[in-house]
Structures are given as C-alpha cells and as structure tokens.
Amino acid sequence: MPHLHIKEFKAVTLPREVEGVHFDFIAKNLTKDDETLIAATVDGDSFFLVVKQDQKRVLLKTDKLTRPASITSVHKALLAYAKVAELEVLASNVIDRKNVHLGEATALKKIDFFAKSFPTDKEVRIEVGFGSGRHLLHQAANNPDILFIGIEIHRPSIEQVLKQAVIQELHNIMVLDYDARLFMELVPSNLVGAVYVHFPVPWDKKPHRRVISTAFIAECRRALKKGGTLELRTDSENYYAYSYQTFIASPKISLLINKNKDIAITSKYEDRWKKMQKNIYDIVMINDEVSDELSIEGDFTFESSSLTKEQLLRVHNKTERFDGGFIHFERVYELSQGFMIRISMGSFDRPEHLYVIVKDDGVKYYPELPLRSRSNLQAHQHLKEILHG
C-alpha cells in the first residue's frame, strides 16, 4: 500500500486545492488519538488519507474503506499533502510518475457506475477473483461481442489486467475492486451468460467469507440468463465438498461435475498444481429458469440530526441487530463543524463499511452511498431512527 513515513504530522487550513488535488476537511478520531483522516478528491474520486501514529513512526497512507479505483490518485494525493503541509518525509514507496498504459486505461470502474446504470446492451460474463487475469483476458480476446466484468481486490492484479487490456486493445473488459457477493445483488436479472469463480480462497477457518454460499448461488441464478452457467474451479477438496453440498441443497438444480478437466487457458498457479499432480475440481451449475426482474424499493436519504457529541460517543462500539442484519458503530470523528461516524451495516455475511457525516444542516454518507441492496436499505432505516432520536 502506498505510504509516506513522516517525522510528524502537520494539519493545514482546509479546504484548499494543490496540484489538482482538492483537500476538503480533516476528521479527528475522538476515541483514539493516533488516527486522523484527510478528505481528498482527485479526478472526481473522493477518499480519505489516514495518518497513523505510534511511538516509533508516523505514517500517511490511504484509508482502505474509501480507497479510490486509481492508485495513481492515491500517489498524487499523498505527495500533494506532503508538499502543502511541508512534511518531512523519512521514507516513501510513493511513485511520482504515471504508468503510460495505466494512464490510458478506461476499464477500471467504481461500484456506483454499475449501481446507476448497469450495462445491458450485450451479454455479460463475470469473473470473480481473476488473479493473474489470464482467463479473463483470454475470454475477452476471443469473445469481442461479450462484455467481461472482472472483480478483484488485489491491486497488483488489477493493474496488470488494466495494462494488458490497453496493450491488447481489448475494449470489452470492465474491472471492479469490490466484494463480489454484494456486486451480484445489483446485476439485472436474465442478463449474464456465465459467472466464473476460479480458485477462490478456501477460507477453511472462516467459512462465512467464502464466495460460494446459498445467497450467492441464488443471486447468480437470478442474474443468469436461461442456459447460463455458474462455474466453480478449485484445487481444494474441502472447498469442493463444501460447495457441492451447498449447490445440491437447492430444491431443484442442474450440475456438471468434472475432475482434472483440461481448459483452454490456465493460471500460473494451476500450472504449478498440475506439475505437483494436484487434483482440480469443477462444479458447473446450469440455470434453466427465467427470473423475475430485479426490483428494490427505497432510498438512502436522511433528515437532519440533533445528536450531540456526547450522544454520538455513547453509541461508539455499539451494535444494533435486526432481523436479517445489523449496524455496528465502529468509530466517531470530530470535524471543524460537525461529526462523522464510521459504521458497518447490512447483512451479517457481507456487510458494508461506511462513513456518515453528521452536521446541523443535514446527514449524508461519505464519499458515496451504500450499495442499493435490501439488507442495506433495511439497515439505513434503523440508522435513521438512531440518528434522529
């Protein structure tokens, strides 16, 4: 992760703009004095830089929850703040230059792109956790009339695919850094030709984090067109056994099972496992139904809040549970005019982590709205009740 190791942090008067970076406000953690957030906007992307301090060092880096799609934007914001605050930088892994191919890449999208207007003019195929990108790039190159959406959270993998998409002139790829389980909830019904889940993390010790679940299968079945497929490929016998039991628990389902099947393109990890004579398992679910259209009612608006600093601090570290989900108040911050809270909310299996700004003139999510899902809308109603007394 890009960061600057600085001698000491210096706050500056905000808002102000420096070399194309707009710094809007500073938020100070009210329960931990080792964290400060700086709101930055670069090329339309708003996110937080975070200052973390301990007895040994002070780091200026990007906040994981609001990290923008472009890593270049992070580098630019870090260097701009160091310049305007005249910080003494002791060490850095920030690059003060732009990769030529990444600069030309247009495939990287944010979740609100899909939430506002999901592309529906052609068949869509989705790959969850594309890793090296070999399979995603191969499929896109050989199927130019199909839109491929690759979902990945590993930044080096994302950048590698973005560069290759530019080099190979592939215009039918979109890339997203997001939780695939949440993403599937906003995909229109009967649109997707295939969902690929190749070699997911097994999460043997934390099975609730697995991609394959009853809820994920249900969302894929709804999003898949008739004859579309959900394709799991794994080297883990435990994951294969778990997934088979999860699939077969459905009242009605069509499955194909293969062991050590050869496919047109493989990852470097699969090549290595084959040399080790490790077994590879495939489960393919074939969708044979037409689903109802996706319909989710509700919005994420707030009324004004009159909660005081003391009242906000009282909800810190509290959890509000309701049927099908929860809200947890993780942190409370003070702004120059108002406050901000960090929360996790939604379903227990796939929660969202968000910031909410609370001022006299209104309440809003920052830097963007939650994903429009049933569990998030339900959590939002409970949050409104808490903030409005």
The answer to whether residues 362 and 385 touch, using CB atoms and an 8 Å cutoff, is no
Range of the domain at 25: 3-92
Looking at residue 95, its pLDDT comes to 72
pLDDT of residue 97 exceeding 70, the answer is: no
**Rounded to 5, what percent of the chain is helix, strand, coil?**
30, 30, 40
* Whether residue 123 sits in one domain with residue 50: no
The answer to whether residues 135 and 196 touch, using CB atoms and an 8 Å cutoff, is yes
Tell me the HSE value of 118 on the side-chain side, using a 13 A CA sphere. Answer: 19
- The CA-based angle 316-320-324, given to 5 degrees, is 145
The chain-wide mean pLDDT, for the chain, equals 91
Cα 47 to Cα 45: distance, rounded to the nearest angstrom: 7
Among 62, 92, 122, give the residue marking a domain's end: 92
Least Cα distance to 320 among 388, 363, 369, 383 occurs for 383
Looking at residue 226, its pLDDT comes to 97
How does pLDDT run across 212-268, given as a tens digit for each residue?
999 999 999 999 999 999 999 999 999 999 999 999 999 999 999 999 998 888 877
Which of 65-79, 96-110, 325-339 is the least confident region?
Answer: 96-110
Please report which confidence band the pLDDT of residue 98 belongs to, taking 50, 70 and 90 as the band edges: low
Please report which confidence band the pLDDT of residue 209 belongs to, taking 50, 70 and 90 as the band edges: confident
pTM of the model: 0.82
192 domain residue, yes or no: yes
292 domain residue, yes or no: no
Among 115-119, 230-234, 297-301, top mean pLDDT goes to 230-234
DSSP classification of residue 195 = E
98 domain residue, yes or no: no
270 domain residue, yes or no: yes
Cα 186 to Cα 171: distance, rounded to the nearest angstrom: 23
DSSP 89-131: EEEE---SS--HHHHH---EE-HHHHHH----SS-EEEEES-T
Query: Under DSSP, is residue 315 helix (H, G, I), strand (E, B) or coil?
Result: helix
* Whether residue 164 sits in one domain with residue 198: yes
CATH code for position 173: 3.40.50.150
Please report which confidence band the pLDDT of residue 103 belongs to, taking 50, 70 and 90 as the band edges: low
Looking at residue 42, its pLDDT comes to 94
301 domain residue, yes or no: no
Among 92, 113, 132, give the residue marking a domain's end: 92
Cβ neighbours, 10 Å, residue 251: 4
* Whether residue 205 sits in one domain with residue 352: no
Please report, as a single letter, which amino acid is at residue 281: Y
Stated as kind and residue range, the H or E segment containing 183 is helix 180-183
DSSP 30-80: SS-TTEEEEEEEETTEEEEEEEEE-SS-EEEEE-TTT--S-HHHHHHHHHH
* Whether residue 256 sits in one domain with residue 120: yes
User: Helices 214-223 and 237-248 sit at what angle, rounded to 10 degrees?
Assistant: 60
Please report which confidence band the pLDDT of residue 277 belongs to, taking 50, 70 and 90 as the band edges: confident
Among 92, 121, 137, give the residue marking a domain's end: 92
**Which whole-number Å values give the CA distances from 77 to 256, 313, 368, in the listed order?**
49, 30, 19
Looking at residue 47, its pLDDT comes to 96
Looking at residue 101, its pLDDT comes to 62
* Whether residue 268 sits in one domain with residue 119: yes
Please report, as a single letter, which amino acid is at residue 233: R
User: Helices 134-142 and 155-167 sit at what angle, rounded to 10 degrees?
Assistant: 30
* Whether residue 160 sits in one domain with residue 43: no
Structural domain total, the chain: 3
Least Cα distance to 184 among 106, 291, 288 occurs for 291
Looking at residue 375, its pLDDT comes to 87
Please report which confidence band the pLDDT of residue 139 belongs to, taking 50, 70 and 90 as the band edges: very high
Query: Under DSSP, is residue 356 helix (H, G, I), strand (E, B) or coil?
Result: strand
**Which whole-number Å values give the CA distances from 331 to 33, 341, 389, in the listed order?**
12, 6, 19
* Whether residue 318 sits in one domain with residue 198: no
Please report which confidence band the pLDDT of residue 12 belongs to, taking 50, 70 and 90 as the band edges: very high
Cβ within 8 Å of residue 329, ≥6 positions away: 315, 316, 317, 318, 319, 341, 342, 343
Looking at residue 60, its pLDDT comes to 95
* Whether residue 249 sits in one domain with residue 171: yes
Looking at residue 85, its pLDDT comes to 95
Looking at residue 275, its pLDDT comes to 82
Better-scored residue on pLDDT, 285 or 108: 285
Q: Is the Cα dihedral 65, 70, 71, 76 positive or negative?
A: negative
Looking at residue 188, its pLDDT comes to 96
136 domain residue, yes or no: yes
Cβ within 8 Å of residue 100, ≥6 positions away: none
How does pLDDT run across 39-58, given as a tens digit for each residue?
999 988 899 999 998 777 89
Looking at residue 388, its pLDDT comes to 79
* Whether residue 217 sits in one domain with residue 116: yes
pLDDT of residue 389 exceeding 80, the answer is: no
pLDDT of residue 84 exceeding 80, the answer is: yes
* Whether residue 251 sits in one domain with residue 376: no
* Whether residue 55 sits in one domain with residue 191: no
296 domain residue, yes or no: no
Please report which confidence band the pLDDT of residue 99 belongs to, taking 50, 70 and 90 as the band edges: low
* Whether residue 86 sits in one domain with residue 14: yes
DSSP classification of residue 292 = P
7 domain residue, yes or no: yes
